[in-house]
Structure 1
Amino acid sequence: MNNSSFQREIVLTENGEIYNPMNIGVASVIEKIGCCSIGIPLNISVAVAITRLRRMHRKPRNFFLLGIILSYLSFFIVPIIELIYWGIYPDESLCRAYVAVIGLPQGLLLINMLSALIDRYLALNYPLLHRGKMTVRFASIVMILSSIFTVFFLKFVYIVSLDILRCEILILHVQMTFILFTILFVSCTAMNIIIYRQTKILLRESRIVEATPDVSVVAINQSSTVVTPISIHVGRKKLGQLEMEATWTLIMGVTSLCVMPCLNIIFIATFFSCPHVFGESVCCNLNGMWPYVKEITMIPAIYGPIIFLVRNKELRSAWACVKL
C-alpha cells in the first residue's frame, strides 16, 4: 500500500508496482468466451419473454424478476471489456471503464434480489395492502431508485471527485464495496429465512378453516356463535411437496448468494486481514487469486435464469412462446 494518504492507497503487486486488474491468462479468456456465449443469449431471451408478453406486465413481481435478469446480464459487461482489452484494443481507457464498472453487477443483483424478497414478504403477510399499493409503476420506481442508490454508493469515490478514475484499484473503493456487499448479503439471507419460515406457517394454517355458524342457528342458540375450527384433510404427500418446495427455494436462494457475492466478501475480508495476521510476505500472492474469484462469481449469471425457468411456470411458458 502507498502510505502517502488514505485516499490514494492503492492495491500493489508483490513487487511494489501498481496492480493492473486487466491482466488475464489464456485459460481465463477461454472461460470468459464460453460464459458469454451461453449466458448472454440466455438472459436476453428471458428478458425479452418478460417484456414482450403483455400478461407478464400485470404482476409487479415480474418487474422485480426482470431487474434480476438484467442484473445477471450486466455480469457480462466486465468480461467483454476484458476480452476487448486482451485481444483487440489494449488501451488505458478500457481499463478505466473496467474500474468504473467492476462491482456494479453484483451490487445491482443483490439490491434487486432484496427488493424481490421484500415484495414476497409483503405479499405473504399483508396480501390486501400489497395488492392495493404494490402496482407495476411503484415496483418500477423502487427498482430505479434502489439501483441509483447502489451505483452512487459503490462509485461514491469517483462520483463526488474524491479521486480521479485511473487504471488502478483504490483501497477505499474496495472497502466501500465490502461494506455494501456485506449489508446486502446479510439482508438477503435474513429475508430468505424469514420468507421460508412464514411459508411453512401459512402451509400449516391452510389445514385449518374457521367455519362461522349460520345466522338462524345463532338466533336460537347464542352459544353456537363460538367459531369452531374444522380440520381439513390435506394429503401428507401434497403437503410434503409444498414444504419441500419452500425448502428448495430457500436452499437455492442462499446457495446463489453464497457463490455471489459471499465469495467476494470472503476474498476481500481475507485481503484486508491476512497482512495483519500472517504478514505481507505471506499474503503477497492474493492479487493473483482475484481473476479466479471473478470467474467463479460469473457462474450465477448462467444458472440463475435456468433456476427461474425451472421454478416459474408462467415465465417458462412465456419463454417458450418467445422461443417458438
Structure 2
Amino acid sequence: MNNSSSSREEVVLTENGENYNPINIGIGSVVIKILCCSIGIPLNVSIVVILTRLARRLHRKPRYFFLLAIILSYLSFFIVPVIELIYWGIYQDESLCHAYVAVIFVPQGLLLVNMLLALIDRYLAINHPLLHREKMTNRLACCLIVTCSILTVFLFKFVYIAGLDILRCEILLLHVKVASIVFIILFISCMAMNIVVYRQTKILLRESRTVETTRDDGVTANNHSTVVSPMSIHVGRKKLDQLEMEATRTLIMGVTSLCVMPCLNVVFSATFFACRLVFGQSECSNLNGIGSLIKEISLTPAVYGPIIFHVRNKELREAWANY
C-alpha cells in the first residue's frame, strides 16, 4: 500500500486522483495543431531544401549548417502534435502515448542547443575571423551539431536511459524536474551569448566609423616618407541607424523566441512544483490545463521562427525566389 502511494506521488495526477493522461487533447487543441502543422511543416521542409541547395552552391559554409540544424529543430517540433493527432483521430493505442513521453521536451532542447552553437559560431567569426575561417570547417560544424544533439537527448531522457524508471503513459515528476534544470541552463546560456554577440556587433559598428588609411605625405627635401594617419569616416547617419536597428532587432527577435519557448515552460514548472510544495498535489491538479495551453503556445516558434529567418536572410530570400 505504501509503495502504491509513493508511486502516485511521483507522477502528475488529475483532480480525481487518477493518473493524468498527457496525450488527451480537446477539439480546440486539435484545430490549433492542424493549423500549425499545415503551415509549419511545408514551410520548414521547403527551407530545408533551399538551405541544402544554397549550402552546396556557396561551397557549404559552416554557418549554413548551423542554420539548417535550427530549421530541422523547428521541424522536429511537429513530431509531438502529429502523435497527438494520430492518437486523437486514428489510433488510440498506449504505444503512441509511450512515443509521446519519449519525445516531449527534446525538440525544444535541440532548438536551444543549435541556437547556442550558432551564436558561438557567430561570436568566433566576429572576434577571431582568421582562426574561425581556418578551424571551423564543415566537418567540425557537423560533428558539433550531431554530438551536442545526442548529448541533449541523453540529458532530457536520462531518467529513462539510466533505468531510473520505465517508459509509461504518464508524466513522471522526476522527468519534469530534470528537463526543467536542463532548460534553465540552456536558456541562460543562449540569453548570455545573445547579449555578448549583440555587444560585439555594436562595438564593430562603432569601429566602422573610423578606419586607418595610408596616404603619401609628399616629397621632402632629403627623403620620401609615407605617413599613416587616422581618418575619420562618418557613415551616413541614416545608414548607421539602420545597422544599429538591425542589430537591435536581431537581439529582440532572438530573446522573444526564447521567452516564448522554453521560458514559459520553465516558469510553469517552477509554479507547479512550488504549488505542490505549499498546497499539496491535490490542490495543484487544476494547473494541468494551463500546462496544455503552454504546450500549444510553445508550438508557435516552429511557425514564426523560419519566417523570421526567411525575412532577414537575403541569400535565403533570393534562393526562395528562384526556387
TM-score range, shorter-chain basis?
A: over 0.9
Structure 2 CA distance for aligned equivalents of residues 164 and 134 of structure 1:
40
- SS of structure 2 residue aligned to 1:186: helix
Residue matched to 1:155: 157
Compute the displacement of 1:289 (Å). Answer: 1.4
Which residue does 1:254 correspond to in 2? 255
Q: CA separation in 2, counterparts of 1:262 and 1:155?
A: 20
For residue 274 of structure 1, report the CA deviation from its aligned partner: 1.7
1:241-275 deviation per Cα after TM superposition (whole angstroms, max 9, x unaligned): 00000000000000000001111111111111123
How many angstroms does 1:278 deviate by?
4.7
Could you list the runs of 5+ residues in structure 2 that have no partner in the other structure? Answer: none
1:221 deviation in Å?
Answer: 8.7
Contact 1:57-1:136 within 8 A present in 2 as well: no
What displacement does 1:11 show? 1.3
In the other structure, the counterpart of 1:235 is 236
Q: 1:73, 1:159 → 2: CA distance?
A: 24
TM-score, length basis structure 2: 0.93
1:216 to partner: Cα distance: 8.8
2:289 alignment counterpart: 288
| Distance (Å, rounded) in 1 between the aligned partners of 2:135 and 2:149 | 21
1:4 maps to 2:42: no
Q: Is 1:311 matched with 2:318?
A: no
User: % of aligned pairs identical?
Assistant: 71
Q: Is the 8 A contact 1:263 1:293 kept in 2?
A: yes
Contact 2:66 2:117 in 1 (8 A): yes
Q: Deviations over 1:94-129 (max 9, x none)?
A: 000000000010000000000000000000100000
Cα distance change on mapping 1:2 and 1:71 into 2, 3 Å: farther
Counterpart-to-counterpart distance in 2, 1:81 and 1:70: 18
TM superposition shift of 1:276: 2.7
Aligned position for 2:146: 144
Per-residue Cα deviation, 1:279-318 (whole angstroms, up to 9, x for no partner) = 5454220112121111100000000010001000011112
Corresponding residue SS for 1:89: coil
What is the CA–CA distance in structure 1 between the aligned matches of 2:234 and 2:285, rounded to whole Å?
Answer: 63
Q: C-alpha separation between the residues in 2 aligned to 1:194 and 1:2?
A: 50
CA distance in 1 between partners of 2:307 and 2:293 (Å):
23
SS at match of 2:169: coil
For residues 285 and 88 of structure 2, what CA distance do their matches in structure 1 show? 25
Q: Could you tell me how far 1:56 is from its partner in structure 2?
A: 4.4
Shift in Å, 1:148: 0.4
| Counterpart contact for 2:194–2:251, Cα < 8 Å | yes
Q: CA offsets per residue over residues 216-237 of structure 1, 9 Å max, x none?
A: 9799599x86x53210121010
* Bigger shift: residues 53-62 or 206-215: 206-215
Question: What is aligned with 2:202?
Answer: 200
CA contact (8 A) 2:17 2:282 kept: no
Equivalent residue, structure 1, for 2:52: 51
Alignment of 1:109-124 (within 5 A): 109-124=111-126
Contact residue 2 and residue 9 of structure 1 kept, 8 A: no
Whole-Å separation in 2 of the counterparts to 1:284 and 1:196: 41
Tell me the equivalent position of 1:105. Answer: 107
Which residue identity lines up with residue 315 of structure 1 in the other structure? L
After superposition, the Cα gap between the structure-2 partners of 1:264 and 1:234, relative to the gap in structure 1 and judged at 3 Å, is same
1:66 — aligned with what?
Answer: 68
SS, match of residue 58 in structure 1: coil
- Aligned: 1:96 with 2:98: yes
Deviation by residue 1:23-45 (Cα, 9 ceiling, x = unmatched): 10011011111110000000000
Describe the shift of the 1:105–1:255 C-alpha distance in structure 2 as closer, same or farther (beyond 3 A).
same
RMSD: 2.2
The number of equivalent residue pairs is 319
CA distance in 1, matches of 2:88, 2:219: 82
Q: What's the CA shift string for 1:33-60, capped at 9, x where partnerless?
A: 1110000000000001011342245210
Determine the C-alpha separation between the residues in 1 that align with 2:5 and 2:315. Answer: 56
Does the Cα contact within 8 Å between 1:20 and 1:168 map onto a contact in 2?
yes
8 A Cα contact 1:38 1:302, kept in partner? yes
Does the 8 Å CA contact 1:64/1:115 hold for their aligned counterparts?
A: yes
Q: Which amino acid aligns with 1:306?
A: I
- SS of equivalent residue, structure 2 residue 15: coil
Tell me the CA shift for residue 17 of structure 1: 1.1
Q: Is the 8 A contact 1:51 1:57 kept in 2?
A: no
Q: Give the structure-1-normalised TM-score.
A: 0.93
Q: Compute the displacement of 1:22 (Å).
A: 0.9
- CA shift for structure 1 position 176: 0.8
